[in-house]
Each structure stands twice: as C-alpha cells, then as structure tokens.
Amino acid sequence: MILLQWKGGAMATLRVALVAGLGCCVVAPVLAQPAPVAAQATLLPVPQALRGAWFDGECTAPRAMLQVTARAVVRLPADGPARLIRFGETRRQQAAGQGEWHIGIGRGAEAPRILLRGEAAALQTAEPDAKLRDDRLPGDTPIASWRRCPSPPPSFAALHGEGLAFLGSLEVLEAACGGMAASPAGCVAALVQEGDVSGDKLLSVAEIARMVRGMTWVLAAAEDAAPEGVMAAGGGGLLAGVAIARFAMESLDYDGDGKLSVAELGQDRAVFARALGSEAGRPLRLEGVQEGVTLLRTLLDSTILGQ
C-alpha cells in the first residue's frame, strides 16, 4: 500500500493501495450507478466566456491564477495553498447597481461561496465571508479583478497543468459515469477519451499515471493544501501515479500490447461487477456525484476497506 499524506483534517490521510488507485481511475467510475440528478439538474454552468485561465497581476509574474470550469473554480496563488471550490449549488443574483453575479457554492460544512461576473477579457470575483447573508451579497466583500494572459507562466504550468487538465476531465467523467445518461460503456469510453493523450484511443502507463497525478492534485487542492507540497511528499503523486498505472496495466492489459483499450476496461467492469455481486443491496455512496472529490475518496475507501 502506498500512503499519501498531507496536512489538514481527518480526511487528510488518503489511503491509496495499488488496487484502489486502479479503482479510482480505471474501474470504479464504471461502477457508479446513475445517481439522483435532481440537484445536478439545477446547476447553472458558469457562462462559457468566463471559463478558462485568469491571472491576477502582470502576465510575466502573476500573483495568482484562477481556473474557471463549468462547475468549479480553483485559485492558485504564486505562494501559498491552492483553493478548489467545486459547485454543489449555483444561482444568479442581481446586485443593486452591480449587474448580475454568477454564484457558485461549494459543498461541505463550510459551503464556500464565490461570485463571478465579467466578459471574455475581464473577470471579477468576490469570496464573501461565511457570515454574510445571501441577500446581502456581495456587500462590502473585496472584489478581485482578473485578466487573460497569452500563455500561463511556466511556473504555473509546470505545477498545475496536469491537475487543471484533470479537473476538466473530472467533470466530463462525472457526466458520463454519474449523470442522467450514464452507462458503463459511455463511462469507459469517456475515460479513454479523457486520458488518451497520444490519440490512439488506448491508454498507456504514462497516460494513466498522468490521470492519477491529476487526481492527486485535485484532492490536494480540495484540502487547501499546496499541490506542489503533495507532489513532493514521500510517496506522493509522481511515484504513486506511475506505480498505480503499472499495476493497472499488468492487471488489465489482457492482450499484452502495453495499452489499455475500451474493451479491456469493459472486461474489467464485468469482473468487478461479479466481485461485488453479493453486495448488490449496498451501492457505493455516490449521492454527491457532482462532487468528484468526495466521489473519488468514496471510491478509494470503498475499494480498499470494503466500506
């Protein structure tokens, strides 16, 4: 078993057994039963124009980067911990004299809120104090301004590129594996589609390792830990990614060509379905399917501990 550990809270110890890592990224999404989507259906996606990478300060040396996806925002300061808010709830709200804000609300006890508004080339955000009432937003919350840059500074790209890519993939996987139209075949196909860098419609060790590293980063960002700290920690994302990927390959590469195909991944789904057959009455806890971090953690725990 590989232990990944970083600071922060009772959930901070992430147990990643090799088989669990395999489960997290290759097998387990297939097991996800279509979850109740009532809450998901009400999510308003962030307007397309506001999505993508934003920067605070000069493009040559930004103070922070903000990545906006359809259903999440992650703030990455040049120094200090990252912050990921994956929306469990959204709404639009008109503020007096300020136009309309898109409000994303994270899950969990803290339920952090972030307000966004803007256009393709200029974004404003506000992260109100937890005590501020919804109908008073944004109140006197400081408003941050963000700009587009031609390309991300190398330091940000090196630290966060894979994690940000996986954050986007995670939303696609959630839709394919846990959304209203989810199916095992569609889930596997989406996994290969998202992981396939080389374009051969197969997953290599490196491609799987990249997804595992991305997942590690997302989990770290969700803990408000510095992803670079996680990556550097003993047994952290880089090594674990390769180890998990090799294990996945050795477990699932039935034709021995060194790549995983949709068919091979589908085969694995059938094996796991049989293995869990006696537990049909106890589906994985996936009620918060749009909260992928919880989902992944649940899958890890379920796979390792059988809980």
Q: Least Å distance between CB 272 and Ca ion?
A: 18
Q: Which is nearer to Ca ion, 169 or 261 (CB)?
A: 261
Q: Which is nearer to Ca ion, 155 or 198 (CB)?
A: 198
Q: Least Å distance between CB 303 and Ca ion?
A: 22
Q: Least Å distance between CB 205 and Ca ion?
A: 11
In angstroms, the CA 203 to CA 261 distance is 7
In angstroms, the CA 159 to CA 122 distance is 24
Q: Cis omega before residue 138 (within 30°)?
A: yes
Termini Cα distance of the chain: 17
Each residue 222-261 as x (binds Ca ion by CB under 5 A) or -, in order, gives -------------------------------x-x-x-x--
In angstroms, the CA 247 to CA 164 distance is 24
Contact 301, 62 (CB under 8 A): no
Q: Least Å distance between CB 183 and Ca ion?
A: 22
Task: Give me the half-sphere count of Cα atoms (radius 13 Å) on the Cβ side of residue 179.
Answer: 14
**Total residues contacting Ca ion (rule CB under 5 A)?**
4
Give the CA distances from residue 245 to residues 28, 149, 217, 241, in Å, rounded to whole numbers and listed in that order.
Answer: 15, 34, 16, 6
In angstroms, the CA 208 to CA 299 distance is 17
Burial category of 293 from C-beta neighbours within 10 Å (exposed 0-12, middle 13-18, buried 19 and up)? buried
Q: Least Å distance between CB 247 and Ca ion?
A: 15
Q: Least Å distance between CB 259 and Ca ion?
A: 5
Each residue 173-212 as x (binds Ca ion by CB under 5 A) or -, in order, gives ----------------------------------------
Q: Which is nearer to Ca ion, 156 or 247 (CB)?
A: 247
Q: Which is nearer to Ca ion, 91 or 201 (CB)?
A: 201
Q: Which is nearer to Ca ion, 254 or 307 (CB)?
A: 254
Residue 305 host element (H or E):
helix 292-305
Residue 117 host element (H or E):
strand 113-119
Q: Which is nearer to Ca ion, 167 or 203 (CB)?
A: 203
Q: Which is nearer to Ca ion, 22 or 225 (CB)?
A: 22
Site membership for Ca ion, residue 100 (CB under 5 A)? no
Site residues (CB under 5 A) for Ca ion? Answer: 253, 255, 257, 259
